[in-house]
Structure 1
Amino acid sequence: MGYVIRPVRADEWQQAKEIRLAALQDPVAPVAFLETYEQGLGQSDDFYRERALGASEDGEGRVRQFIAEAPDGSWAGTATVLIERPDDEVRFGEAAVVHQAHVVGVFVRPEARGGGVADALFRAALEWAWSLGEPRIERARLYVHENNPRASAFYRRIGFAPTGTTVPMPGDPTARELEYAVARP
């Protein structure tokens, strides 16, 4: 594979911004992300600085962004994990009933797809979530648009299963996001 999978560093906000904007330009972005390219482009550099800091090892510890770094230093992919607690404000989907990880912002550049990058990002993300101390993370979840069969197939292949919970897609109440989850091993 040749990639190093690691957490984003606080000072890498420009690379984090670039890969986010690349993700938002991907052809499946309208069913994969809750933000448009124009919205992402409109965010300030301070927004991206704070986002990178919060998702780094120097951050608050409830968010971690993982990246796949090529030998030349370029980033081939990313995945972010949010830690959710039952008493948290709901950001998306249904409220957590247990302490859980919520995987968001998954993206692998087209030229790196099919080579194990997404698998490695998920391994790192889940290992981090399972390694956290009290409160113990009981499960990981994510949401996938009903019209994103490629992502659904990948999530099933790596052990996530549909829970039966669905939520309307923000901005399009006729479309559904499907919750997938995996229990802590």
Structure 2
Amino acid sequence: MNHVIRAVRPDEWAKAKDIRLSSLQDPAAPVAFLETYEEALAQPDAFWQEWATGASRRHGTRAGQFIAEAPDGTWSGTVTLLIEEAGDMDFLGATSERAQGHLVGVFVRPEQRGTGLLGALVDAALDWAWSLEEPRLARVRLHVDERNPRAQAAYRKLGFVPTGKSLPLEGNRSVAPGRELELVINRP
């Protein structure tokens, strides 16, 4: 692997937008993401500028986006870690029982899958999560559609384990409603 894994910088909003749009065009997108390509494309540049600033580790404390940058400067993958305080309502409508991280927006370009990039990106996000002093996180969770066995297997390989909890998914989806399975990894 010849990629640099690092946090997104505030001035990289156009690249953050580009990789998000690419992820939403992936064949697995309907069961991997809650947003559609059309919804993301409709967002104004100000949205992406605000996102990149908030997700940069220098400016953000509630989110961190990590990217895999190839030697030519292209981004081959990304993950975002959201920080949830106890009592926060997450984007799926559930209330957090504890302070925890929530891994979202996971994407590796098809030609880079199986190269170790996913593990490197998740490791960077977890390193950041475990380094936080306030809130001190005991675990990081993620949700994966029950109809996405490839993603389930990849997360399990990285050490995430099912909690037995699942949430029904409805709303703005281009596929029939399903269930999101919760997987977690605990602080070492």
* TM-score after normalising by structure 1: 0.96
Name segments (4+ residues, structure 1) moved above 6 Å. Answer: none
Structure 1 residues 118 and 93 mapped into 2: Cα distance closer, same or farther (>3 Å)?
farther
The corresponding residue for 2:165 is: 165
Quote the RMSD (CA, aligned, Å). 1.2
In the other structure, the counterpart of 1:177 is: 180
How far apart, CA to CA, are the structure 2 residues paired with 1:80 and 1:22?
15
Q: Structure 1 regions of 5+ residues with no counterpart?
A: none
Give 1:136 shift: 1.1
Q: C-alpha displacement at 1:58, in angstroms?
A: 3.1
> Which one-letter code corresponds to 2:88 in the other structure?
D
Provide the residue aligned with 2:131 in structure 1.
131
- Unmatched 5+ stretches in structure 2: none
Query: Percent same amino acid at aligned positions?
Result: 58
Amino acid at match of 2:181: L
Distance change (3 Å), C-alpha of 1:147 and 1:135: same
Cα drift, residue 87 of structure 1: 2.5
Aligned residue pair count: 185
SS at match of 1:96: coil
Quick check: 130-139 or 83-92, which moved more? 83-92
Q: Say if 1:24 and 1:36, in contact at 8 Å, map to a contact too.
A: yes
Structure 2 CA distance, aligned partners of 1:99 and 1:19?
A: 28
* TM-score when normalising by structure 2: 0.95
For residues 135 and 58 of structure 1, what CA distance do their matches in structure 2 show?
17
Rate the CA distance shift 1:101–1:80 in 2: closer, same or farther, 3 A. Answer: same
Match of 2:57, SS state, is coil
Q: Which range moves more in the overlay, 163-172 or 149-158?
A: 163-172
Match of 1:154 in 2: 154
